[in-house]
Chains A and B, each alone.
Chain A
Amino acid sequence: MPQIAQLADTWSSQVFWLLVFFGITFFVIGKIMVPKVMDTVAQRDGQIAADLAAAKAARDAADEQEEAWRVKENENRAAAQAIVAKAKDEAAAKSEKKLAAAQKRIDKKLADAEARIDEARTEALAEVENVAVEAAQDIVKTLAGVTVTKPVATKAVKEQMAHG
């Protein structure tokens, strides 16, 4: 086994050159180069984290604006609905008023007409009575030869008419 057989002759050379080359590896590669490589990685990670944070902030801002827009939109819609409702109420009130006025006029006309009808009927009845009275006087005069005064005849006719 050369590791043991040559130990006495070679150990100092082995140790010396190992220290030299491992020393170079450690001080040049490990101490100077590796930190730069890791620095690059850290920079990249930082950049990615910053970009992600910026993207998140932008998204949050967009969400906020959308929410604000939604609130505003809802307000506008509510305002529009209020205007529509108001207009509807006003229109309804106006038409109701008009309807009421028309109704009133119609009622008045109806009442007038009814009054006139009543009058006409009363007049007609009075006419009928007069006619009946005259007829009764004529009939009595013709049949019995008795002249009946108008008030008596009227009374008799009224009695008869009241009995139907």
Chain B
Amino acid sequence: MAADQAKVDPMKQFAIEAIGGTQGWEIAGFNIAFTNSAMWMLITTVVLFVFVLGGMKRELVPGRWQMMVETFTGFIDNMLEANIGKEGRKYVPYVFSLFMFILIANLIGLLPLGLVGIHPFTFTSHFTVTGVLAIISFSIVLIVGFWKHGLHFFSLFVPHGTPLPMVPVIAPIEFISFMVRPFSLALRLFVAMMAGHVLLKVLSSFVIDGTNAGAGFGALVGLPSFLLMIGISALEILVAGIQAYVFALLTSLYINDAEHLH
């Protein structure tokens, strides 16, 4: 009976396991086991470090690698300048780190490393992680907002030109939409990454189970599923980029609100 059951559990890929007996690591009573999730964060950091390091040759005429790194920094720089203006440049380190960290995490999580026995883990498919990133972004918005505008920052909740009688209605709506931002930011990335990976795993279980059920099922179910997986993998690469971009873009838009109010 065990052989007949689906061997692919689409949720297994999101399971967190401590690596090498670090299960008991604690700081002030909080568990800080070095898990597979932490491992892929480390890998992401190293990959990003190596990538940017390759762009630090500081040549006047850039090579391909330097050009690539400069394209990314220029991309973030332009985005911040377009959304925030000249003041946006001081957020380049943060938004660049955010964008590249998420992008590389998303892309590395998609690598077919399972073929060589390594199990990729997409830590951006955990709302704990995306939530922390969203809270950091949101905190920056709050800190910058109150730092620059003081209590005047609350005028963010009253859009310019609102008729006075409408203020009591508009302000709570604006307030709620403002407070929802970190949740939408975190959930959007988490859901997009998780949905894609679940879909791929479900389709792969169709391929495996269909093929196991016989040649007929393999041709009827397995093959179309496999073709669909190829297409969806391409789509997932696109989603990986788009979600990182959306996260960075929304962060820059929110920072713009904090810098300039409305």
The residue among B53, B96, B133 with the most chain A CB atoms within 10 A of its own CB is: B96
Known: A25-B97, A34-B73. A3 touches B33 (CB 8 A): no
B32 near A30: Cβ-Cβ < 8 Å:
no
A28 to B73, CA, bound (A): 15
Query: For chain B, which range describes its interface: under 10, 10 to 19, 20 to 34, or 35 or more residues?
Result: 35 or more
Residues of A within 8 Å of B18, CB to CB, are 13
On whether A3 and B48 interact (CB within 8 A), knowing A17-B35, A26-B97, A47-B60, the answer reads no
Q: Are B94 and A26 in contact (CB under 8 A)?
A: yes
Please name all residues of chain A whose beta carbon is closer than 8 Å to the beta carbon of B108 when the two chains form the complex: none
B-binding segment of A4-12, A101-109, A146-154 = A4-12
Q: How far is the CB of A33 from chain B (nearest CB, A)?
A: 5
The answer to whether the Cβ of B58 comes within 8 Å of any Cβ in the partner chain is yes
Q: Quick one: given A2-B14, A13-B32, A37-B73, are A29 and B52 in contact (CB under 8 Å)? A: yes
Residue of B nearest to A29 (CB): B52
By the criterion CB–CB under 8 Å, are B58 and A1 in contact?
no
Chain A residues with CB under 8 A of B62: 40, 44
**CA A1 – CA B18 in complex, angstroms?**
18
Contact A13-B133, Cβ < 8 Å, known A25-B101, A26-B94, A35-B93: no
A30-B93 in contact (CB<8A): yes
**What B residues does A21 contact at CB under 8 A?**
38, 41-42, 44-45
Task: Write the B167-201 contact mask toward A (1 if CB under 8 angstroms, else 0).
Answer: 00000000000000000000000100010000000
Given contacts A9-B31, A12-B31, A37-B55, contact A22 B128 (CB under 8 A): no
Residue B69 at the chain A interface, CB threshold 8 Å: yes
Contacting residues, chain B, for A26 (C-beta < 8 A) = 93-94, 97
Instruction: Determine if B34 is an interface residue (Cβ-Cβ < 8 Å).
Output: yes
* Inter-subunit contact A6/B96 (CB<8 Å): no
Residue A53 lies at the interface, judged by CB distance under 8 Å to chain B = no
Residue of B nearest to A47 (CB): B60
- Chain A residue contacts of B132, Cβ below 8 A: 14-15, 18-19, 22
Cβ-neighbour of B128 out of A3, A35, A37, A43 (below 8 A): A3
Q: A13-B31, A13-B35 are in contact. Are A6 and B16 (CB under 8 A)?
A: yes
> Which residues in window 81-128 of B have CB below 8 A to A?
92-94, 96-97, 100-101, 123, 125-128
CA of A33 to CA of B70 in the docked complex: distance in angstroms? 11
Could you tell me the distance between the alpha carbons of A15 and B16 in the complex, rounded to whole angstroms?
Answer: 13
B96–A12 CB distance below 8 A: no
Chain B nearest CB from A50 CB (Å) reads 12
7 residue pairs bridging A and B, Cβ less than 8 Å apart: A10-B128, A24-B45, A25-B45, A29-B97, A40-B59, A40-B70, A43-B60
Other A-B pairs beyond A19-B132, A30-B92, A40-B70, 17, CB < 8 Å: A2-B12, A3-B14, A3-B190, A13-B25, A13-B34, A13-B37, A13-B38, A17-B32, A18-B133, A25-B100, A26-B93, A26-B94, A29-B52, A30-B97, A34-B96, A37-B66, A41-B73
A-B pairs, 5 with minimum CB distance:
A30-B93, A17-B38, A30-B97, A12-B30, A21-B41
